[in-house]
Amino acid sequence: MTDEQWREFERGCSPLPDPMTPSQIRQLVAQSNLHYFTFARLLNTSPRLVLRWQQGLARPRGPELKMLHLIRERGLDALV
């Protein structure tokens, strides 16, 4: 696949959602009524990483970011 073909393929893929701020992530965790350990388990990530997102020391990317947006739009029921 040439570089131009790859760029065209990437343009056709669904775009990544907008980044989320630490306060938005804290709000999601709080609204879920779950401890951040349990919230992390639902996202299949580590509790330490969720805590780092909430503190602004790391940012969710890729599938994790998409899942956070899905939770924000549809609630936790969208994951189960």
| 29-67 residue pLDDT tens | 999 999 999 999 999 999 999 999 999 999 999 889 999
pLDDT at 41: 93
Two structure tokens written together for 80: 């189960």
7/37 Cα distance (integer angstroms): 38
Please name which of 40, 20, 18, 21 lies closest in space to residue 29, comparing C-alpha atoms.
40
44/15 Cα distance (integer angstroms): 22
- Return the number of other C-beta atoms located less than 10 Å from residue 60's C-beta: 21
**pTM of the model as a whole:** 0.78
Please provide the distance, in angstroms rounded to a whole number, between the alpha carbons at the two ends of the chain.
37
**CB 78 within 8 Å of CB 70:** yes
